[in-house]
Chain A
């Protein structure tokens, strides 16, 4: 269990998927100055990542040994289709939940973070359970980054930002500072 917690926390903090691996930047840059939206986006992320993790483990174990070169195609196609199906299911089963999360699902299905998760996870040879915790950690990390960024941007809305920075320059500098802060988590688990 300790091992699993290590995987989870390190994926969340030490190698944060957004701030360390640069995955999932499109929504990160875009998702707003609204903490609520960011949170929901993050939760949808966690959801998709967990599913992806299971699917990727499954594919890696049973399908890919026969055709390792189909890895990328298989991942992307299966993940996209699966999330589609899940989205439709949620819509039918629980419209409330769908209204909360569902509309973000297509937005994040094939974004870098999800495919990146699949690729990293299989590259490390994680088992089903390892992969699940890894995905949870990654998702939590992405959510954390999203929420932090959203709150920062909410603040900057009220500040006097110089004209040159009024484009994404400011957002990136903020992101860089966040990333710098997260570097402090390195060494959290030392032997």
Chain B
């Protein structure tokens, strides 16, 4: 299709001839004249047939709303815009006003412009005086500066609250999947596949290339490790499911599971969250988990009943967990935490210790602010 606007069966296409020759040639002048011609022809055709835009012209902003009368709806055809440089305006979609003839208008108007930053074109409307580029730049610069300043303030105000909330959510999730540990400790998975409670020198906890992941080791009151809370995500039925689960590496058992975010079908797939019996199935199930249909459950310790009508979502959840166990299981099993020292036993609190830069970390993994415990314990992977 090398010609525009010709395929519509309802339109009269009497003027394809002269336009046919132009496309092959790369000269701007000719493109110019072709557009002008096309625009002219469009104008004549406008009135004869209902155009697309007539069936949906939104009032948008440019319509008769200025006068408060709906009668002044512009049947848009080359309708005078309020300024020459409409490119940016058209960035906002108002289909009714931006049909092909008008766009062709702009093509024509834009021909004579110099390249340059968007927003500083030569003025074509005669009654306006020439405004200096400096003034234009200054306006934008000042506006930008003020905007930036305001945003900085709002950001400083809101950021601690946001982080605190994220920490709280993560804390709650860890509490749930580890079945209320007394406290927990953050372990960092480094790029060399070691698991450590304290970061070695020079490793930035926010750098995703160095700190691949975090798991949370929970302890009970007597200081014995309960298990690890591990996050995982993967594709579900509709989109990505993100979850966290508790895992006892020694006995290869899952302690509990909680879905953190998902986009599954409401009423069906979202039962992975709402169906408490399904969620409770994960308490104590042996890994790797085998999904079974409810009537085929033979009572093996590693079986979990899938949700009827949401088999794919259920399977996805199980698969995510199994894959995480597969990749981290050994590492977690071998990790040797020393019994907690009394001085460091603080229950995992939602604090705001790390100012995590949100852009650097996918929001889905709610890293933010879990207190690193046990600063006194230096535990390295053996």
Say if the two chains contact directly (CB < 8 Å): yes
Contacts of B27 in A (CB 8 A): 95
Residue in B26, B235, B265, B312 whose CB lies within 8 Å of A94: B26
Please pick, from B7, B115, B151, B361, the residue contacting A69 in the complex, using a CB distance under 8 A: B151
Task: Give the chain B neighbours of A70 by CB distance below 8 A.
Answer: 148, 151
Residues of B within 8 A of A26 (CB): 93-95
Q: In the docked arrangement, what's the CA distance between A87 and B266, Å?
A: 42
Within 8 A of B (CB), among A109-128: 109-112, 122-125
Answer whether A80 and B357 are a contact pair too, CB < 8 Å, given A36-B1, A106-B106: no
Q: Which residues of A contact B319 (CB under 8 A)?
A: 191
Contact status A99-B31, CB under 8 Å: yes
Quick check: B26 and A95 within 8 Å, CB to CB?
A: yes
Contact (Cβ within 8 A) A29 B90:
no
Asked if B4 and A190 make an inter-chain contact with CB atoms under 8 angstroms apart, the answer reads no
- Is there an interface contact between B93 and A108, defined as CB atoms closer than 8 Å? yes
Closest chain A residue, CB of each to CB of B30? A95
Pair A68/B234 contact, Cβ less than 8 Å: no
Which listed segment binds A: B164-172, B220-228, B237-245, B331-339?
B237-245
Central interface residue in B9, B24, B87, B117, by most chain A CB within 10 Å:
B87
**Which of B23, B55, B93, B234 has most A Cβ within 10 Å?**
B93
With an 8 A cutoff between CB atoms, is B125 at the interface? Answer: no
> Which of B9, B10, B24, B92 is most buried by chain A, counting CB atoms within 10 A of its CB?
B92
Tell me whether B316 and A186 are in contact (CB under 8 A).
no
Q: Is the CB of B31 within 8 A of A81?
A: no
Assess A40 versus B315: contact at CB under 8 Å? Given A6-B235, A29-B95, A31-B52: no
Tell whether, in the assembled complex, residue A40 and residue B95 are in contact, meaning their CB atoms are under 8 Å apart.
Answer: no
Q: Which residues of B contact A80 (CB under 8 A)?
A: 88, 91, 118
In the assembled complex, B161 has its CB within 8 A of some CB on chain A: no
Sort chain B's interface into a size bin: 35 or more
A88 near B362: Cβ-Cβ < 8 Å: no
Contacts of A106 in B (CB 8 A): 86-88, 90-91, 98, 103, 106
The bracket for how many chain A residues form the interface is: 35 or more
Q: A98 in the interface, Cβ–Cβ < 8 Å?
A: yes
> Residues of B contacting A27 with CB < 8 Å?
93, 95
Closest to B32 in A: A95
Interface contact tally, CB-CB below 8 A = 163
Q: 1/0 per residue B259-282: CB within 8 Å of A?
A: 000010100000000000000000
CA distance A124 to B26 in the complex (A): 42
In the complex, the answer to whether A87 meets B154 with C-beta atoms within 8 Å is no
Bound form: Cα–Cα A21–B77 in Å: 32
Q: How far is the CA of A186 from the CA of B236 in the complex (A)?
A: 9
B8 proximity list for chain A (CB < 8 A): 33-34, 36
CB-CB under 8 A for A109 and B91, given A34-B52, A81-B118, A189-B235: yes
Could you say which residues of chain A place their CB within 8 Å of the CB of B235? 6, 10, 189-191
Which of A88, A91, A99, A190 lies in contact with B316, CB distance below 8 A? A190
B238 touches A103 (CB 8 A): no
Q: Which of A84, A104, A122 has the most CB of B within 10 A?
A: A84
Tell me the bound Cα distance from A81 to B155 in angstroms.
Answer: 26
Cβ–Cβ contact B359 & A110, under 8 A: no
Interface membership of A165, Cβ < 8 A: no
Q: Kindly provide the distance from the CB of B271 to the nearest chain A CB, expressed in whole angstroms.
A: 15
Q: Which residues of B contact A164 (CB under 8 A)?
A: none
B312 touches A30 (CB 8 A): no
* B199 lies within 8 A of chain A by Cβ: no
Residues of B within 8 A of A92 (CB): 28
Q: Contacts A80-B91, A122-B359, A186-B238 given; indicate if A69 touches B26 (C-beta within 8 A).
A: no
**Residue contact B7 to A35, C-beta cutoff 8 Å:** yes
When C-beta atoms are compared, the residue in chain B nearest to A32 turns out to be B52
B292 contacts chain A at the CB level, 8 A cutoff = no
Q: Point out residues on A near B: beta carbons under 8 Å.
A: 6, 10, 14-15, 26-27, 29-37, 39-40, 60, 64-65, 68-71, 73, 80-81, 83-85, 87-88, 91-92, 94-96, 98-100, 102-104, 106-112, 122-125, 154, 157, 167-168, 171, 186-187, 189-191
16 further interface pairs, Cβ-Cβ under 8 Å (given A96-B26, A106-B86, A191-B234) = A6-B235, A30-B56, A37-B52, A64-B359, A65-B357, A71-B359, A73-B151, A85-B118, A95-B26, A95-B31, A99-B4, A104-B103, A106-B91, A106-B98, A187-B312, A191-B235
Q: List 15 A-B contacts (CB under 8 A).
A: A29-B56, A34-B5, A37-B52, A64-B359, A70-B148, A85-B115, A91-B28, A91-B110, A95-B26, A107-B90, A109-B90, A125-B364, A168-B56, A187-B238, A190-B315
Interface residues, chain B, with chain A CB atoms under 8 Å away: 1-2, 4-10, 23-24, 26-28, 31, 34, 52-53, 55-56, 86-88, 90-96, 98, 100, 103-104, 106-107, 110, 115, 117-118, 147-148, 151-152, 154-155, 234-235, 237-240, 263, 265, 312, 315-316, 319-320, 357-364
